[in-house]
Amino acid sequence: MSTHPDNNAAAEVEQHASNLLEAGSILKEKAKLKAKRIFKRDQTSDDESVFSDPAFDPAKVLDNKSDRLDKSVRETLKDGAKDLKFVVAHPRRVARGKAIHKTAGTIGETQHPALTAERDQELLDAHDALAQAESDIGPGPNHQADIDDARHRIQVVEEKKEDLQTAWILGRHVSRVKVVRPVMVDRPKRSQYTTITPTGERRLQWERYVGHLALYYTRGFNAPYIDDFETPPFDLEDLARILERIAITSAPLQTFFMKIREVYMWKDPKCTAKWAALFAVLWYFQYIMSYVYFYILYSTLRNKFNPGSVKAVRASVARSFDREKRVQAWGELLQRHGQNNWIEPLLDEVGPIIQMQLGDIADLLEVLINFHRNEKPGRTLASLFFFGSCLTITLSADMAFCMKLVWFIVGAGFFVTFPIATNFPKYRYLVSHMRWMFWDIPTHSELAILRLQEKAIMRDADLSEFELHAASEPLHTFSVKEETDGKGQLEVGRSGLTLTTKISERTWVYSELVELQKLDAVESDTGLNKIKNLHSSSSAVLQILLFDKTLTLILEPAHRDRAFNLILAWSGQKWQSLRMEGHNKGKDDKSNLDRAMKRAFR
């Protein structure tokens, strides 16, 4: 396929502009690193030890600039001069290509750091080293030491991948959390739901009364499954994050469905013939659903006692290029539809529903993955007991009875639970059949918070071995700007928060926390500052909701993420990961689309 000369020239100009911007960024990063070495030599070692773990410092995972700092300053300036000369000669082409370059860069940064081919290759190299050590025949303790070192290397690589995943999820997908507390619901009275009809008859609104009564009797354990608003407002940025979660979480399911596709397309006739024979036997004896429950039990237990093999990882690395092609085709499809005029009014109508359903699908996929990985053994055992009970019923009871039971569940879902979930989306998880089967198994966001708190407990246990008391433990201090009191210091300790300003010093214990939320950078009202903030990412906002006060703090993005994760880890509270609400509640506020466009080109 031939390429137009103008397209080649435009691509060349955009490449030079990109190189020039990157050169300036490299010099800026080098200056920052040098300044940190000069002015922060006296930083406490406890800070470094805590934030050396990516789980407590997501900026290390989300910021991919460190790999570019290997080039010397002289080489950077020399190359930058060449790029500047070329860019000055073609200013219009540079302006035209800037938006495309920024958008492509933003999309490219969404790659999961723990699911890249490089991480898989590290794991493969570690397993190859173990296989080499085991194959070498040699007497003495040195041979066993080599094997132990190789196994330790595998453990280090796996822990690194887990830490990167925790940091990436917390930094990219967890922006708002709420302390989980029992819902305060009074026992309903019939008189509260009794109305007078136009004919003068008294009518009990039994559907609302029964719903309130159900909330009352389940108030001890239903709090994590009650959302904080009825229907979330449509937000393109939230929709993009949900699609990203689905794309990443569905990777194992893509492989599974590709295997199914190979079966029904007769790619391997012998394999397809075996599955056809098995299906015929199961169909004849009416044990198809029994096999489904058996496969759930078998695959989950097999994954627990025999995790993913090296062969599967090698196959995944080999398929990564093809999967990338499919993702690019999907992205081109979305981009093509977004350019049409009819899609915007359609999104205004069905956008909130689609976003909520896609978010629920992403949550369910993550719950299924964590169930299969046995991330919460107690709850996984309860779910396995349920499937084991289903297996026992299907094996011992009459098939006619089983089919009646299946259709009863379908009818109950269609006439009872589905209408409740549709009319009252806030309680949709409470009436979800899938959530009943996998009750209290966490999503990736909830699991990342649990892992972070486990790390904090282990770190505190290590400190207790040295008999360090709480009073002598160092606090983590962040320079902030409070909405009302101005500049100050936020101290995050293991027992609470302290905000010190010129006006006052206030302390809160973690039991007073209600909600944490990451917000956009606060904008000024002047047009000049708005233009500056449009391309600025030097500040971020952390909002802390307490029982008696709401703190709105402005600080550096990396420090905001550090403080956010430290509070999550040390609070000891049970947190519920919430979806972001729209911030455009006033007439002068920007729309969600404008806010998303500003973030994309920031």
What CATH number should be reported for the domain holding residue 548? Answer: 2.30.29.30
Q: Are residues 487 and 421 in the same domain?
A: no
In a domain, 543, yes or no: yes
Give tens-digit pLDDT for 371-425. 998 888 889 999 999 999 999 988 888 888 888 888 888 878 888 888 788 778 8
At position 31, the amino acid (one-letter code) is: A
Q: Are residues 375 and 418 in the same domain?
A: yes
The CB density around residue 66, as the number of other CB atoms within 10 Å, is 10
Q: Are residues 492 and 412 in the same domain?
A: no
Q: Are residues 68 and 124 in the same domain?
A: no
* Three-class HEC string of 252-287: HHHHHHHHHHHHHCCCCHHHHHHHHHHHHHHHHHCC
The pLDDT value given to residue 481: 86
In a domain, 23, yes or no: yes
Q: Are residues 157 and 102 in the same domain?
A: no
Q: Are residues 369 and 434 in the same domain?
A: yes
Top-ranked range on mean pLDDT: pick from 246-250, 286-290, 533-537: 286-290
- Number of domains, the chain: 4
In a domain, 227, yes or no: yes
Q: Are residues 409 and 427 in the same domain?
A: yes
The pLDDT value given to residue 521: 55
Asked if the model's pLDDT at residue 172 lies above 70, the reply is yes
Domain boundary among 432, 449, 466: 449
In a domain, 198, yes or no: no
Q: Which of 352, 379, 73, 100 lies closest to 221 in space, CA to CA?
A: 379
Domain boundary among 415, 449, 483: 449
The rounded mean pLDDT for the chain is 72
Q: Which residue has the higher pLDDT, 427 or 537?
A: 427
Classify 136 as helix, strand or coil.
Answer: coil
Q: Which residue has the higher pLDDT, 244 or 428?
A: 428
Are the beta carbons of 338 and 266 closer than 8 angstroms?
no
Give tens-digit pLDDT for 517-528. 888 654 434 333
Q: For CA atoms 219, 567, 232, 350, give the dihedral sign.
A: negative
CA dist 497 and 476 (Å) reads: 10
In a domain, 153, yes or no: yes
**Residue 453: half-sphere exposure toward Cβ, Cα within 13 Å:** 14
Q: Which of 99, 73, 98 lies closest to 17 in space, CA to CA?
A: 98
Q: Are residues 283 and 345 in the same domain?
A: yes
Classify 179 as helix, strand or coil.
Answer: strand
In a domain, 182, yes or no: no
Q: Give kind and range of the element (H or E) at residue 8.
A: helix 5-39
Instruction: Give all strands (DSSP E) within 354-485, no chain letters.
Output: 476-482
In a domain, 546, yes or no: yes
Model confidence band, residue 477 (pLDDT cutoffs 50, 70, 90): confident
Model confidence band, residue 286 (pLDDT cutoffs 50, 70, 90): confident
Task: Say which range, 36-50, 66-80, 96-110, 557-571, has the weakest mean pLDDT.
Answer: 96-110
Q: Are residues 381 and 494 in the same domain?
A: no
pTM of this prediction exceeds 0.75: no
Give tens-digit pLDDT for 98-125. 544 444 344 444 555 555 666 667 777 7
Q: Are residues 121 and 101 in the same domain?
A: no
Are the beta carbons of 51 and 562 closer than 8 angstroms?
yes
Q: Are residues 53 and 138 in the same domain?
A: no
Q: Are residues 337 and 434 in the same domain?
A: yes
Q: Which residue has the higher pLDDT, 15 or 462?
A: 462
In a domain, 211, yes or no: no
- What is the domain extent for residue 129? 117-172
Q: Give kind and range of the element (H or E) at residue 563.
A: helix 557-571
Q: Which residue has the higher pLDDT, 264 or 585?
A: 264
